[in-house]
Amino acid sequence: MSPKNRLDAAVRIREVAENRARLTLAEAQRLALATAAAVHETTQRALADDRCSGSAADWTLIEFAHIRALQDARRAETEKRAAEEKLGVSRASFLGARQRAEALRRVLESRRAETLVAERLTEHKAMDEVATLLRSRR
């Protein structure tokens, strides 16, 4: 078991922030994938040619539907760009949180190592004193 240190609480706080950033990154990735799929779907719908023989009213209705499909495709592209920007921001946020947590973990490990070395030195010193006392008793 590692000795307790005052930095343990700070490390836990940084790890919680790192986990939150990881969850935000995962959500942004999910959103980016969903918007990419929506762009593909709306683009396919906009590329489809549903015109066939029929009345002028049918052609007008089909043309309005095509215009709407083009507008949906443009809107999906805009949403995709926004999702990609959010993904970039959340990726940068996660990397920053991870670096801060990792730096604090390294500091904590070095402090624990220093504490263990100090405890061993104290133990060796105490054992030397006991050995000196036992030797002087003879």
- Residues 45 and 74: beta-carbon distance below 8 Å: no
Q: Is residue 41 part of a domain?
A: yes
Q: Is residue 127 part of a domain?
A: no
pLDDT by residue for the chain (138 residues), tens only, comes to 667 788 888 999 999 999 999 999 999 999 999 999 999 999 998 888 777 777 888 888 888 988 999 999 999 999 999 999 999 999 999 999 999 999 999 999 999 999 999 999 999 999 998 889 888 887
Give the number of domains in the chain. 1
Domain with 18 in it: 7-102
Q: Is residue 64 part of a domain?
A: yes
Q: Is residue 76 part of a domain?
A: yes
Which residues are CB-neighbours of 121 under 8 A, at least 6 positions away?
none
The pTM score is 0.73
Q: Is residue 109 part of a domain?
A: no
Q: Is residue 132 part of a domain?
A: no
Distance CA 137, CA 38 (A): 88
Q: First and final CA of the chain: distance in angstroms?
A: 39
Q: Is residue 19 part of a domain?
A: yes
The alpha helices in 5-55, defined as continuous H runs, are 7-47
Distance CA 52, CA 69 (A): 17
- Give the three-class secondary structure for 2: coil
